[in-house]
Structure 1
Amino acid sequence: MGATGTGKSRLAIDLAIRFDAEIINCDKIQVYKGLDIITNKVTDEERHGVPHHLLGVIDPDEDFTAEDFVYHASLAVDDIIKRCHLPIIAGGSNSFIQALVDDTKFRSKYEFCFLWVDVSMPILHSFVAKRVEQMVDAGLVAEAREFFEPSGDYSRGIRRAIGVPEMDEFFRQESFVEDETRAKLLKTAINKVKENTCKLSCRQLEKILIMAEQLKWPIHRLDATEAFMRQDGDAMDPWKRLVAGPSTRILSNFVGGNNQTDSKSALSVAPQFSSNAISLAIANN
């Protein structure tokens, strides 16, 4: 659970490889078929053979609710555990995770280990802006055009994805304006995508804080800011040292039966930090 852009899929796959696990997607937009670039779905190559569930399987026009997620995720968890694998739930839709954990039947069967990767908000927003530019280079505009809605209704299904409604004005006017105006419209649309993605990360932070403080969830905080500041050849070392390594130790203790909250790794939030929970691991109670 957590903010967009902080590496949920990356860590989930790292842990899945180490713990013989399978991943259940918990992103309310990535569950849909299509918009692989805009929704930043993990590619087949990036999965490294790790099975993924609820990723790109729902019809784009359907509404997939939190109740739907609880039903399908519960089936997936049961199936994964029956095959003696560990389920890891990874995604930014915290409302889905809360619905699952609050489900009485599910909570009675399983225990949970929450891992949250936290990144300084200014650093995260800078990274997100660059990622949007990379998505544009990769074909964001053409992908969004396929889901352009002449009626202007972007309230259902995959059309809610950030990157689609923001392009609406550009698509409406691009054929009727000169090149300079067209370029300005496109720039405005891309800036809206960046702005709305940053707003999303702030909302996700707020939700995680509510989960931790009001719901008293024992969330382990992992500060990945240094790894994001060093986006070069040395970035891997702080990621392993600050994120992958500690999360491996936490999860090892959890699946080994020691599910006590470590005061050194439990929630400790500085107000300038954004949040992103990287994975929710589930094991038999």
Structure 2
Amino acid sequence: MMSCCFCKQTQPMVSFPSGLNISSRWRKDKVVFVMGATGTGKSRLAIDLATRFVAEVVNSDKMQVYKGLDIVTNKVREEECQGVPHHLLGVVDPNVDFTAADFCRQALQAVDAITRKDRLPIIAGGSNSYIKALVKDHAEFRSKYECCFLWIDVEMPVLYEFVSDRVEKMVEEGLIEEAREFFDPAGDYTRGIKRAIGVPEMDQYFRILEASDERMRQGVLQTGIDNIKANTCKLASCQLQNILRLQSQLEGWNIVHRLDATEAFQKRGGSGAEAYEAWERLVAAPSTMIVHDFICQGTTTTFLAPPTSPNSVLTASPF
């Protein structure tokens, strides 16, 4: 049975004697990565974990780093963050190219700042090129941090259905109007946030908005929406392949822990309680135990707060 090692958000993670340097207790500071294809609930899990441990989240999604297009890029809403600080989320000029090197530099700064506060950094996002650059190619990060990798996996047919439904919901919430702000008459969608799925696909629709033929406008609009769905599914498939490739390249790191969330997604059409229960049982609770064991590895330090009730952390749907 797992010991009481959870922390409330307002408490220090570990009680250390005065003057004791954390590095003297741990060979390296700890970092948790939450990976997965688009739509699998990475932000939800990162927040779930951050409410159970004293933690802060660092975004590693290459479109969500930019300012703007909150609906198109599916940024986590402020009310969904439950007070958990987020870094590299909506902070970059939308017209510049934010490279893997830029991410490594700023992510390392964020992680360093989080660990100096005796908090756990949780890096969450679907851009595996960013993760690879940080954990494989960045010598300073490798020398300072020990990593635990959580991979949320969902069977592709189930995920395809979910992301297609999510696109419809995003359209209802204002995706078209939001994307129109970044329409480029020159048709150049190769830089910055304009690359985000949901912008290039709407180009032809924005070009014929003044056309008098309503049927033609609606047909072009539907084609654009269908293309967003298709390209999002293609992205999910590519991200899965990249995760499998990255998994084979992580020599020297802790094992990648796969969490199958398929059942939770299958139950999203039923009662909310069923979906929440499946998410807790299959994803949130196992992840909590994995992170607990990872943090406590190599130290006898225990946490001070009693376990958080599962019901208290499931205040926002992962779906």
Same fold (TM over 0.5): yes
Instruction: Confirm or deny that 1:50 pairs with 2:84.
Output: yes
Of 132, 148, 152, 2:167 maps to 132
Instruction: Confirm or deny that 1:65 pairs with 2:105.
Output: no
Q: Quote the Cα distance in structure 2 between the aligned partners of 1:88 and 1:210.
A: 21
Instruction: Confirm or deny that 1:17 pairs with 2:54.
Output: no
Instruction: Confirm or deny that 1:115 pairs with 2:185.
Output: no
User: TM-score, normalised on structure 1?
Assistant: 0.89
Structure 1 residues 229 and 158: alpha-carbon distance in aligned structure 2, compared to 1, 3 A threshold = same
Q: Deviations over 1:171-230 (max 9, x none)?
A: 011212411111100000000000000000011001001011244462100000000000
Equivalent position of 1:181 in the other structure: 216
8 Å CA contact 1:38–1:135 kept in 2: the answer is yes
Offset of residue 257 of structure 1: 1.1
Instruction: Confirm or deny that 1:255 pairs with 2:295.
Output: yes
What percentage of aligned pairs have identical amino acids?
61
Q: Quote the Cα distance in structure 2 between the aligned partners of 1:186 and 1:61.
A: 25
Instruction: Confirm or deny that 1:36 pairs with 2:70.
Output: yes
Equivalent position of 2:26 in the other structure: none
Q: Deviations over 1:18-72 (max 9, x none)?
A: 0110000000000000000000000110000000000000011011000000000
Q: Quote the Cα distance in structure 2 between the aligned partners of 1:235 and 1:116.
A: 19
Q: Quote the Cα distance in structure 1 between the aligned partners of 2:86 and 2:175.
A: 24
Instruction: Confirm or deny that 1:161 pairs with 2:201.
Output: no
Offset of residue 108 of structure 1: 0.6
Q: Quote the Cα distance in structure 1 between the aligned partners of 2:123 and 2:164.
A: 26
Q: Quote the Cα distance in structure 1 between the aligned partners of 2:65 and 2:47.
A: 17
Q: Quote the Cα distance in structure 2 between the aligned partners of 1:14 and 1:93.
A: 20
Equivalent position of 1:263 in the other structure: none
Q: Quote the Cα distance in structure 2 between the aligned partners of 1:238 and 1:109.
A: 36
Offset of residue 116 of structure 1: 0.4
Instruction: Confirm or deny that 1:246 pairs with 2:289.
Output: no
Q: Which structure is richer in relative contact order (CA contacts within 8 A, separation 6 or more)?
A: 1
Offset of residue 152 of structure 1: 0.4
Q: Quote the Cα distance in structure 2 between the aligned partners of 1:168 and 1:84.
A: 47
Equivalent position of 1:225 in the other structure: 262
Q: Quote the Cα distance in structure 1 between the aligned partners of 2:194 and 2:72.
A: 11
Offset of residue 243 of structure 1: 0.3
CA RMSD of aligned residues (A): 1.3
Q: Quote the Cα distance in structure 2 between the aligned partners of 1:258 and 1:196.
A: 44
Query: Superposition pairs for residues 64-83 of structure 1, below 5 Å?
Result: 64-83=98-117
Q: Deviations over 1:227-252 (max 9, x none)?
A: 00001321111110000010000000
Q: Quote the Cα distance in structure 1 between the aligned partners of 2:108 and 2:250.
A: 21
8 Å CA contact 1:2–1:93 kept in 2: the answer is no
8 Å CA contact 1:33–1:58 kept in 2: the answer is yes
**Contiguous gaps of at least 5 residues in structure 2:** 1-34, 300-317
**Contiguous gaps of at least 5 residues in structure 1:** 260-277, 279-285
Specify the structure having the higher radius of gyration (Cα).
2
Equivalent position of 1:268 in the other structure: none
User: Secondary structure in 2 aligned to 1:58?
Assistant: coil
Equivalent position of 2:9 in the other structure: none
Offset of residue 258 of structure 1: 5.8
User: TM-score, normalised on structure 2?
Assistant: 0.80
Q: Quote the Cα distance in structure 1 between the aligned partners of 2:87 and 2:249.
A: 30
Please identify, of 230-239 and 105-114, the stretch whose mean Cα deviation from structure 2 is larger: 230-239
Q: Quote the Cα distance in structure 2 between the aligned partners of 1:142 and 1:258.
A: 52
User: Which runs of at least 4 in structure 1 moved beyond 2 Å after TM superposition?
Assistant: 213-217
Q: Quote the Cα distance in structure 1 between the aligned partners of 2:83 and 2:183.
A: 34
Instruction: Confirm or deny that 1:84 pairs with 2:86.
Output: no
User: Secondary structure in 2 aligned to 1:208?
Assistant: helix
User: Secondary structure in 1 aligned to 2:36?
Assistant: coil
